[in-house]
Amino acid sequence: MKKEYWIILIAYIAMQFSGIIGVPLLMFTGNFFGKSPEEMQILSVPYWIVISFAITFIITLALLRKELKTVRELREASSVPASIAWAVGGIFLAYFAQIMAASIENIIGIEMGSENTQDILMLIKTFPAVIIVSSIIGPILEEIVFRKIIFGSLNKRLNFFLSALISSVIFSLAHAEIEHTLLYSAMGFTFAFLYVKTKRIIVPIFAHVTMNTLVVILQLNKEPIENWLEKMEKIQSFIGGFI
């Protein structure tokens, strides 16, 4: 594996654990910016998430800047129209994989819903800038780490199924929701398929970013959407009474 890849992996892992030092540090320095300890106790976690992800994102892009310009990879990749088609189709493919995995989990007695998603929504409500991390920076970093680096490196030595399986399970474990391993692995398989099919990391990135963004938008507007659906049902029943 390339030296740059190892540095990115180390930076990504360090980012995951950086809150141990970063959050207390922000709580301490908050006093110098006129923030009360109570305010910093609430804001330090979302602040650090944005800071740590942004730093890791910049490091990752800086290390990959030369690779993104290589002509060889562009020759092996799918055409632009085909890549666009797979990127858009990949959203529906990922959604279908998610529904199938969630249905299987439900059958075996695993409750639907993600604690991670609820935690992220709470952080967004506390500090809206977190939505940039959850919807854009986070998915991009995950695709680079889990698909381009881990899956890509494994796929050079193993077949697609084993490479996708190993990288998807690691992807799942990184989300720290063991009960939803099947769900996260199904998503990982889908994104790995999009990557190997097009040879363009931007394709699974687009699908992943879109999926995360839609989930956040729907969850943040859950109550208005439910109210709207209720009104539509009443209107439909009212109209139906005259037919």
Which active-site residues does the annotation give?
Answer: 142, 175
Burial of 50 from C-beta contacts in 10 A (0-12 / 13-18 / 19+):
middle
Catalogue the long-range contacts made by 35-42 (C-beta closer than 8 Å, 24 or more residues apart). Answer: 42/126
* Cα(16)–Cα(148) distance, integer angstroms: 19
**Terminal Cα distance for the chain, rounded:** 68
Distances (CA, A) of 25 to 43, 44, 155: 12, 9, 40
